[in-house]
């Protein structure tokens, strides 16, 4: 996998998104990041709909990081859509949530999430989690899904 793959982040909490970006950059990860506010917007991004039609500006991601609890379409509902979509189902998805409820975790894995992390309590822990996840996905072999239709 190339080191410059785009990471799509779906999170409705702007503060969480800012902290996530800071944790990513604290790991010296320079990959392009694209942010959306919920599962509906993530689907629009993946389908290249509306403002996301310009793949030069909004390149197709190689990894998705999503919050669990979002308005309109939750992380689990987005994951369910993703795994049923014929062109997107192979994309690696990481769920991050304040919830570590066993039911949420189990449902996420049953729906096909690749990794589930409870959002850490401290910024340093978040930096560590992001570094570990990035190094894993940087080395993992994934299908290159070309969505430039």
The predicted model scores a pTM of: 0.89
CA distance between the termini of the chain? 22
pLDDT for res 146: 56
Please count the structural domains in the chain.
Answer: 1
- Sign of torsion, CA 136 140 143 147? positive
Locate tokens 């793959």: which residue? 5
Residue ranges of the chain whose pLDDT lies below 50: 1-2, 147-149
Percent of the chain whose pLDDT exceeds 70: 92
The answer to the question of residue 90 being in a domain is yes
The answer to the question of residue 149 being in a domain is no
The CATH number given to whatever domain includes residue 52 is 3.40.50.2300
The answer to the question of residue 2 being in a domain is no
HEC assignment per residue over 78-109: HHHHHHHCCCCCCCCEEEEECCCCHHHHHHHH
Q: How far is the C-alpha of 5 from the C-alpha of 144, rounded, in Å?
A: 10
pLDDT for res 3: 58
């Amino acid at each position: 996998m190339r080191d410059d793959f785009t990471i799509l982040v779906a999170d409705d909490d702007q503060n969480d998104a800012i902290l996530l970006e800071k944790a990513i950059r604290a790991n010296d990860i320079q990959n392009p990041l694209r942010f959306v506010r919920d599962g509906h917007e993530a689907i629009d991004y993946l389908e290249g709909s509306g403002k996301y039609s310009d793949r030069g500006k909004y390149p197709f991601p190689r990894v998705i990081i999503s919050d669990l609890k979002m308005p309109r379409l939750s992380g689990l509902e987005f994951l369910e859509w993703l795994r049923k979509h014929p062109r997107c189902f192979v994309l690696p998805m990481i769920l991050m949530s304040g919830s570590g409820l066993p039911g949420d975790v189990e449902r996420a894995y049953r729906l096909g999430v690749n990794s589930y992390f409870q959002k850490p309590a401290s910024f340093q822990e978040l930096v560590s989690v992001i570094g570990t996840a990035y190094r894993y996905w940087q080395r993992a072999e994934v299908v290159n899904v070309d969505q430039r239709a």
